[in-house]
Amino acid sequence: MKRRAICLAALTTILCCLAASDQPAVACTGIRVKPKDGSVIVARTLEFAADLQSNIIVIPRATASVGTAPGDKPGLLWKSKYGIAGANGFGMPVIVDGLNEKGLGIGIFYFPGYAQYQEVKAEDAAKTIAPWELPVYLLGTCANVEEVVQAVGSIRVGGVVQKDMGYVPPCHYVVHDASGRCVVLEYVGGQRKIHDNPLGVITNSPAFDWHLTNLCNYVNLSVNNVPPVDIAGLKLPSFGQGSGMLGLPGDFTPPSRFIRAVAFSQSALPVATAHEGVLQAFHLLNQFDIPKGAARGVDNGKTMADYTLWTSASDLTNHRYYFRTFDNSRIRMIDLTKMDLDAAEIKTISMAGQEVIEDLSSKAK
């Protein structure tokens, strides 16, 4: 009992130290699944310490938009060519995560400590957008990754304060298309960097190329159990299933989540169809669901606790957007092919809803 009390006291001390950390928690995770039918499914969690007030929006073709330059000045003007569906934030006509009718999918991921956007001179304002406006611009004007790479070369992304947040949001972006190609777009040191992403995985800081290098520290991981080891005649067997993954990091930090996301998405048994791929993606992301209070930080003297606000999956082949929320784990879906993409205005679909628990007592036989 005394030893147990000491262990509990130590655990309490550790948890208090974690809660007192001066770094706010940031914990979004993105993966990709490729079923045997050739479809491409991309999925992610969205964690934050405050409600982003997300809903699903459907942005029709020919929607006119104006970007924001530093100093809250008018920026880039554009008109969308393609219809878009996805999750927004703060009721704004922007996409935090979503896809377009061509099967292009883009998501914003937090990138603190590393994001530094491009310099914007007075003459650059007309080709400038804010960090949170980049996905909706690219989804509205590009059909695939190749076009995205070309498009970002002709615009500037500036350090613009997001009014609801009160600061310039540090972001990087994952871009997928229906061919299965994926890149990560980052702004570091004021320079645009584009990384090929063959794994389709993304988390947060540090920079994406660092995460790829860090994978080398886990080359020993395997889906197969480790055989017994003989040491001086003493046979040491592993404890049950999973010994090949011994050493897999289990914490919520971005480097650890990146390793787990690669391990789980690459080791999952192949599924046959897009429908099965969507369900598999949600199962994989169960490993990254964060309850309130497990990941905390201090921001301006206030303790903040990240949690999983919502989880989404985009079927880039069949143009469907799936989601579930913290309050409702039932998977819901928007079929972009069934929406009026020539509508006169943006449509909003609420993500709100409470969990429904089905009582099966009366079905007992």
Residue 122's region, left for phi above 0, alpha for psi from -120 to 50, else beta, is: alpha
What's the pLDDT score for residue 354? 96
DSSP state of 115: B
State pLDDT tens for residues 192-212: 999 999 999 999 999 999 999
8-22, 102-116, 290-304: lowest mean pLDDT where? 8-22
10-14, 166-170, 245-249: lowest mean pLDDT where? 10-14
Annotate 270-284 with DSSP letters as a single string. P-SSHHHHHHHHHHH
What's the pLDDT score for residue 63? 98
State pLDDT tens for residues 305-322: 999 999 999 999 999 999
Statement: residue 273 has pLDDT above 50: yes
Statement: residue 263 has pLDDT above 60: yes
Residue 71's region, left for phi above 0, alpha for psi from -120 to 50, else beta, is: left
Annotate 245-258 with DSSP letters as a single string. GTT---SSSHHHHH
19-23, 89-93, 125-129: lowest mean pLDDT where? 19-23
Statement: residue 296 has pLDDT above 80: yes
Statement: residue 17 has pLDDT above 80: no
Q: How many CA atoms lie within 13 A of 303 on its CB side?
A: 12
* Percent of the chain residues topping a pLDDT of 90: 89
* CATH code for the domain defined by 25-207+270-352: 3.60.60.10
Spatial distance between the Cα atoms of 230 and 213, rounded to a whole number of angstroms:
33
State pLDDT tens for residues 30-71: 999 999 999 999 999 999 999 999 999 999 999 999 999 999
What's the pLDDT score for residue 297? 84
State pLDDT tens for residues 92-121: 999 999 999 999 999 999 999 999 999 999
Kindly report the average pLDDT of the chain as a whole number. 92
Spatial distance between the Cα atoms of 28 and 354, rounded to a whole number of angstroms:
23
What's the pLDDT score for residue 26? 64
Statement: residue 7 has pLDDT above 80: no
Can you tell me the mean pLDDT for 342-365?
96
| Location of structure tokens 């993105």 | 30
* Percent of the chain residues topping a pLDDT of 70: 93
Q: Beta partners for 184?
A: 174, 195
Closest CA to 351 of 316, 318, 314, 310: 310
Spatial distance between the Cα atoms of 264 and 203, rounded to a whole number of angstroms:
14
Q: How many CA atoms lie within 13 A of 5 on its CB side?
A: 2
Cα 3 to chain center, whole Å? 41
- Kindly name the residue from 16, 28, 142, 216 that is annotated as catalytic: 28
Spatial distance between the Cα atoms of 174 and 36, rounded to a whole number of angstroms:
23
8-22, 26-40, 287-301: lowest mean pLDDT where? 8-22
State pLDDT tens for residues 210-229: 999 999 999 999 999 999 99
What's the pLDDT score for residue 200? 98
Specify the amino acid at residue 289.
D
What's the pLDDT score for residue 282? 98
Closest CA to 358 of 329, 332, 333: 329
Statement: residue 329 has pLDDT above 60: yes
Q: Are 218 and 266 in contact (CB under 8 A)?
A: no
Asked if 28 is an active-site residue, the reply is: yes
Residue 27 banded pLDDT, cuts 50, 70, 90: confident
What's the pLDDT score for residue 5? 42
